[in-house]
Amino acid sequence: MSLDGLLFQALNGLAGASALFLVAAGLSIIFGVSRIVNLAHGSFYMLGIYLAGTLAGGFGGAFGFWAGVIGAVLVVAALGALTEIALLRRIYAAPELYQLLATFALALIVNDAVLYLWGPEDILGPRAPGLEGAIDLLGRRLPTYDIFLALVGPAVLIGLHLLLARSRFGRLIRAATEDREMAAALGVNEKVLFTAVFALGAGLAALGGALQMAREPASLSLDLAVLGDAFVIVVVGGLGSIPGAYVAAVLVAEVKALCIALGTVSVGGFEVNLSKLTLVAEFLVMAIVLIVRPNGLFGRPQPPARVAGRGEPPLRPMGRNGGIVALGVVAALALLPLAEGAFPYAPVLAVDMLVAVIFATSLHFIMGPGGMHSFGHAAYFGLGAYGAAYAATQLGAPTFAALAAGIVAAGLGALVFGWFAVRLSGVYLAMLTLAFAQIVWSIAYQWEAVTGGSNGLFGVWPDAPLDTRAGLYLAALGGALVVVLLLRRVLFAPFGYALRASRDSPLRAEAVGIATGRVQWLGFALAGALCGLAGGLFAFAKGSISPEAISVGRSIDGLVMVLLGGVESLLGPIVGAGAFTLLQDSVMRETDYWRALLGALILAIVLIFPGGLMGGAARLWALATRRAAR
Amino acid sequence: MTDAAQGNATAGGEATAPLLEVEGLDAWYGAAQILFGLSLTVGRGEAVALLGRNGAGKSTTLKAIMGLVERRARRLAFDGQDVARLPTHALARRGLGYVPEDRRIFTGLTVAENLDVGRQPPRLLADGRPAPGWTTEHLFELFPNLAGMADRRGGQMSGGEQQMLTLARTLMGNPLLVLLDEPSEGVAPIIVEQMAQAILALKQKGLSILLSEQNFRFCEMICDRVYVIEHGELRWRGMTRGLSSLPEVKSNYAIL
């Protein structure tokens, strides 16, 4: 690789950095004031690029391109304001987890809205009039538009700095970012300020998207891809720091550009294609920064939220009656294969449900009693699935050994990722876990020699006695039973008490001699390992595993299952997993717009039934017994 | 509750309604109830003290009036109008100022910027006369220490300087009444003296004050009337000078 080429790619990287910076700056400003990490922020970017393309075409001509950009920014800013008024205002006081989910639900709904309005095909935008050319630089042609884009980032950075430092609006934003309650006591109308800030942030994201229309096609996968990048940038730069976001955007874009520039290099006899490792590279940058500076390059420690959260009620072991009922249910489930003649599909659906039960129960273990809201549980599902599939197809391992290999792979992954994760909390933890899941996903997608790339691994069939529907079903039932009982046993052992103590009051737990970090780390690893069994069973049930099955969507499904069932109950994840799988199998299969449906379901849980099914049942039960007592 | 004979100062001034009327105020932190049916009034131009030991509910009373904690009141009126349903910022816009005990300076903003956040347009009294208005220049006269440090960040000030800034910041909103939470807490004696002088000057300008204090000597300098609270309930009320002749009341409620 020549030096010229490197320089050329570096300039190219600056152009990419601008778009990422615009999105990350918006995310950061919104978080600063409202303390909400807006998972729909990538959707604003996506809307920006689609709208700008359509508007530019509508206006037409040289004027049309720029009018399209401005129009898209204004429309999306207005949508952002509407979102703040209609949705976010209702959830400012809700737990962080619900805020994250609600904004993710919005992302799902926007994605389907875009699908409905613009269709599934990628759309190419117009070129920027006057900037179509290229200039000769170092013997290569550097597009003029890229130079323009490279300048947009610093320009917006300076503009934002002036806005925040010199205007009264900026002073009010900074004051409310530090202490919104005090700002309100001084007469600052928070509602108006929050709406304005949200509109500003959404508009910035839309600007980032709109300006990209001349560089890349608009596609439906942009929202999550951009969101992932923006997360990395915000975490690397430090949540809430605008200059930090720019530095991080440049860093990430340059690392990516460098990977592409270097291409295939030989490391110790192995040919490594760096251009395929761009995704992994940016997450590696993030991991390194987080080890050295846990609050990011320019970040300061986040002040603790002034809202005092309501503690979770203690868990109660199931009484004797409950035990008898559970035994009866398990016995009935064990007899299900006898009904196969009447309902041939039943064991297949039941295996799906049991896989979901293992997945949701292990997730619940870390997010409920563990208090760590993982947005990347799909990572361990994926490690388990790929581990088992690789062992079975490539190494010829028998089924049980392959399942064990999956558990080990997931457990090791959880040990590594958990080591980082337990150092963070709240939204940082959520973003980091999501990022780790993206790493696993991109490795599965890009390491073709081992994972089969985008096609995945095929022919993952179980051997006897699991090679019948009934056999696999009974194995899944046994596995689910072991996982549920084991995790329940752990929760009522001293380790479980220590885990909950670490969640409820880390300082006091430390003071009585609990190594909170280690307890949470081991809890994280245990849950991850057991989740690997869900992945392995999934691979054997479907006969294959592909990156699609372990994407962000799977992580979110898990969160929805747990919340649908009720996070404060040990039965919650089981009930939620069953109900969600049934719902997915019946309703969501019937429509192209299942994302919007899932989004609506999440919003219903967050806004109307925050206790989930079990919480609702407990309320009904309390009501009924009180009436009976009267 | 013991009501001192010389009692209710507002009794003589029935002609105009008090500036602040609080009746039956309950307040909660989460599930824990802190205030139980508290009633008090502050007349126009009057300085009133809330006395009581640590944890008696003085700060909570001020926060509850300001709508910063969960609260319910039979009546909450300011400047003759029912304000029980107004959000915090709207209360501030009506001319109700709040100076928190822990100062809550915006540490990333300079002194001048802190003052600017508190700025509100001039306001009129209920009878149409202009209320005392404040500018940065006036405030720098009142607190000369602040004048030299307009560009210093809030995070780089001493406790006493922050205490002056937090009061000055609230005054920038041209309030009619200031809820002043323990301004003598944790600052050097010389600053306490300066604060007392400044507050007296404010009172002479016609500003009404509701002061939460543990230090009787401080409130003796400033306040006309006193409410003593304990465990979130009103225990005694009367003229300040009446309380100074009742050492047993003071010692009962650990008033210094």
Task: Sketch out chain A's domains with CATH numbers.
Answer: 14-231 (no CATH), 339-628 (1.10.3470)
Contact between residue A149 and residue A630 where contact means Cβ atoms under 8 Å apart: no
More confident residue, B230 or A8: B230
Quote the pLDDT of residue A630: 61
d(CA A118, CA A124): 12
Closest Cβ–Cβ partner in B68, B92, B109 for A187: B92
| Backbone Cα Rg of chain A | 25
Quote the pLDDT of residue A480: 95
Tokens of A495: 């380790």
Distance from CA of A400 to the nearest CA of B (A): 51
Task: Note the pLDDT tens digit of each residue in A298-326.
Answer: 887 765 443 334 566 777 777 788 888 88
Task: Note the pLDDT tens digit of each residue in A533-556.
Answer: 999 999 999 999 999 899 888 998
Task: Note the pLDDT tens digit of each residue in A42-52.
Answer: 999 999 999 99
Distance from CA of B27 to the nearest CA of A (A): 15
Task: Note the pLDDT tens digit of each residue in A114-125.
Answer: 999 999 999 988
Q: Report the sign of the C-alpha dihedral through residues A559, A561, A563, A566, in that order.
A: negative
Quote the pLDDT of residue A308: 38
Lowest mean pLDDT among A71-80, A183-192, A577-586: A577-586
Instruction: Report whether the peptide linkage leading into residue A465 is cis, meaning its omega lies within 30 degrees of zero.
Output: yes
Give which of B191, B159, B172, B211 is closest to B51, Cα–Cα: B211
What is the model's pTM?
Answer: 0.83
Backbone angles phi, psi at A267, to 5 degrees: -115, 110
More confident residue, A77 or B186: A77
Quote the pLDDT of residue B6: 40
What single DSSP character describes residue A218?
B
Contact between residue A364 and residue A540 where contact means Cβ atoms under 8 Å apart: no
Contact between residue A177 and residue A36 where contact means Cβ atoms under 8 Å apart: no
Residue with tokens 């009546």: B75
A359 Cβ contact list (under 8 Å, min separation 6): A377, A381, A531, A534, A558, A561, A577
Tell me whether B34 touches chain A (CB under 8 Å).
no
Query: Closest-CA residue in chain A for B167?
Result: A186
Give which of A351, A466, A460, A453 is closest to A397, Cα–Cα: A460
d(CA A22, CA A211): 10
Residue with tokens 């205030």: B35
Task: Note the pLDDT tens digit of each residue in A230-256.
Answer: 888 988 898 888 999 999 999 988 888
- The type of residue at A111 is N
Using alpha carbons only, what angle is made at residue A510 by residues A508 and A514, rounded to the nearest 5 degrees? 120
Task: Using the predicted structure, report yes or no on whether residue A608 has a pLDDT greater than 70.
Answer: yes
Give which of B111, B92, B207 is closest to B168, Cα–Cα: B111
What single DSSP character describes residue A125?
P
Contact between residue A17 and residue A249 where contact means Cβ atoms under 8 Å apart: yes
Using alpha carbons only, what angle is made at residue A163 by residues B112 and A33, rounded to the nearest 5 degrees? 85
Contact between residue A336 and residue A473 where contact means Cβ atoms under 8 Å apart: yes
Residue with tokens 């380790």: A495
More confident residue, A316 or A152: A152
A 10 A CB-CB count for A120 gives 9
Q: Under an 8 A CB cutoff, do B117 and A179 touch?
A: no
Using alpha carbons only, what angle is made at residue B46 by residues B45 and B47, rounded to the nearest 5 degrees? 130
Three-state secondary-structure class, residue A591: coil
d(CA A42, CA A223): 4
End-to-end CA distance of chain B: 21
Contact between residue A88 and residue A600 where contact means Cβ atoms under 8 Å apart: no
One pLDDT digit (tens) per residue for chain B, 256 residues: 554 434 444 443 444 689 999 999 999 998 899 999 999 999 998 999 999 888 889 999 999 999 999 999 999 999 889 999 999 999 999 999 999 999 999 999 999 999 999 999 888 766 677 777 888 888 998 898 899 899 999 989 998 899 999 999 999 999 999 999 998 888 888 888 888 999 999 998 889 999 998 888 888 888 999 999 999 999 989 888 888 777 777 677 666 6
Residue A372 CA, chain-centre distance (Å), reads 14
Quote the pLDDT of residue A194: 92
Tell me whether B61 touches chain A (CB under 8 Å).
no
Quote the pLDDT of residue A163: 94
Give which of A356, A38, A303 is closest to A194, Cα–Cα: A38
Which candidate in B68, B88, B167, B172 is best for mutational testing of the A interface (most A CBs within 10 A)?
B88
A 10 A CB-CB count for B111 gives 27
Quote the pLDDT of residue B8: 42
d(CA A299, CA B89): 29
Distance from CA of B150 to the nearest CA of A (A): 15
Give which of A518, A169, A554 is closest to A379, Cα–Cα: A554
Which candidate in A33, A177, A182 is best for mutational testing of the B interface (most B CBs within 10 A)?
A182
Task: Using the predicted structure, report yes or no on whether residue A219 has a pLDDT greater than 50.
Answer: yes
Tokens of B176: 């009619």
Closest Cβ–Cβ partner in A172, A181, A310 for B117: A172
Of the pLDDT bands very low, low, confident and very high (cuts 50, 70, 90), residue A418 is very high
Q: Under an 8 A CB cutoff, do A187 and B104 touch?
A: no
Q: Report the sign of the C-alpha dihedral through residues B20, B24, B30, B33, in that order.
A: positive
Query: Closest-CA residue in chain A for B121?
Result: A187
A 10 A CB-CB count for B149 gives 16
Which helix (H) or strand (E) is B3 found in, with range?
A: strand B2-3
Backbone angles phi, psi at B246, to 5 degrees: -120, 70
Tell me whether B131 touches chain A (CB under 8 Å).
no
d(CA A55, CA A36): 31
Query: Closest-CA residue in chain A for B32?
Result: A310
Chain A to chain B Cβ contacts (< 8 Å): 61
Calculate the dihedral angle through the C-alpha atoms of B165, B166, B171, B175, rounding to the nearest 10 degrees. 180
Domains in chain B: boundaries = 4-252
The beta strand positions in A98-245, using DSSP E, are 134-137, 140-143
Tokens of A562: 């747990």
Residue with tokens 């001192």: B4
* Region class of A159: left (phi > 0), else alpha (psi between -120 and 50), else beta: alpha
Mean pLDDT of chain A: 87
Question: Which chain B positions have a beta carbon within 8 Å of A189's beta carbon?
Answer: 89-90
Tokens of A238: 């430090």
Which candidate in A186, A298, A300 is best for mutational testing of the B interface (most B CBs within 10 A)?
A186
Which candidate in B62, B103, B106, B170 is best for mutational testing of the A interface (most A CBs within 10 A)?
B106
What single DSSP character describes residue A122?
-
Q: For residue B75, what are the β-bridge partners?
A: B23
Give which of A82, A372, A419, A430 is closest to A239, Cα–Cα: A430
d(CA B233, CA A425): 40
For residues A265-284, give the mean pLDDT: 71
Task: Note the pLDDT tens digit of each residue in B224-245.
Answer: 999 999 999 999 898 888 887 7
Lowest mean pLDDT among A37-46, A258-267, A500-509, B168-177: A258-267
Tell me whether A309 touches chain B (CB under 8 Å).
no
Quote the pLDDT of residue A611: 77
* Domain over B4-252 is classified CATH 3.40.50.300: yes
Query: Closest-CA residue in chain A for B65?
Result: A185
d(CA A427, CA A246): 20
Closest Cβ–Cβ partner in A174, A181, A187 for B108: A174
Distance from CA of B86 to the nearest CA of A (A): 12
Tokens of A231: 């997360």
Q: Under an 8 A CB cutoff, do B92 and A172 touch?
A: no
Contact between residue B65 and residue B179 where contact means Cβ atoms under 8 Å apart: yes
Q: Report the sign of the C-alpha dihedral through residues A185, A187, A190, A191, in that order.
A: positive
Distance from CA of B9 to the nearest CA of A (A): 29
d(CA A436, CA A413): 10
Query: Closest-CA residue in chain B for A300?
Result: B108
- The type of residue at B207 is L
Tokens of B219: 């409130």
* Region class of B232: left (phi > 0), else alpha (psi between -120 and 50), else beta: left
Tell me whether A313 touches chain B (CB under 8 Å).
no
Closest Cβ–Cβ partner in A172, A186, A310 for B169: A186
In percent, the amount of chain A with pLDDT more than 90 equals 45
Backbone angles phi, psi at B149, to 5 degrees: -130, 40
d(CA A426, CA A188): 27
Distance from CA of A613 to the nearest CA of B (A): 25
Tell me whether A630 touches chain B (CB under 8 Å).
no
d(CA A548, CA A441): 8
Mark which residues 517-536 of A lie under 8 Å from B by CB: none
Q: Under an 8 A CB cutoff, do B116 and A189 touch?
A: no
Contact between residue B176 and residue B123 where contact means Cβ atoms under 8 Å apart: yes
Quote the pLDDT of residue A287: 76
A566 Cβ contact list (under 8 Å, min separation 6): A572, A575, A576, A611, A612, A613, A614, A615, A616, A618
